[in-house]
Amino acid sequence: QVQLVESGGGLVQPGGSLRLSCAASGIIFSIFSIDTMGWYRQAPGKQRELVATVTSGGSTDYADSVKGRFTISRDNAKNTVYLQMNSLETDDTAGYYCNVDLRAAWGPTRDYWGQGTQVTVSS
């Protein structure tokens, strides 16, 4: 029932910008609430890696490779997390996946993943 729909990927030249969006739906908010939201990426031949996270309180963390270039944000009213990517480099080329932690009213937390969106940085 829970769906995470991603958008915003594409082909961009080095130095360009993209903005990724991930909207969550199908959540029974009388029972669950969204805690941490994040973005991960996976390039060919590499393992999936953390890009950025934002907590329900607004605290953010970034991978060292994207600090100063990427910004993660969330709109709780829209149940959406964003990733603004500036000064893109060829090494940023990867499939990008959003992740949402849902917390049940009784305590346990469960992760949900988006379908992925491709970001290709090439001249």
The per-residue pLDDT for 85 is: 98
- For residue 30, the model assigns a pLDDT of 80
Q: What is the mean pLDDT of each run of 10 residues along the chain (123 residues)?
A: 94 98 89 94 96 96 98 95 98 98 92 96 96
The closest alpha carbon to 32, from 83, 94, 106, belongs to 106
Q: Which amino acid is at 43?
A: A
pLDDT at res. 31: 87
DSSP lists the bridge partners of residue 75 as 80
> What pLDDT does residue 28 have?
82
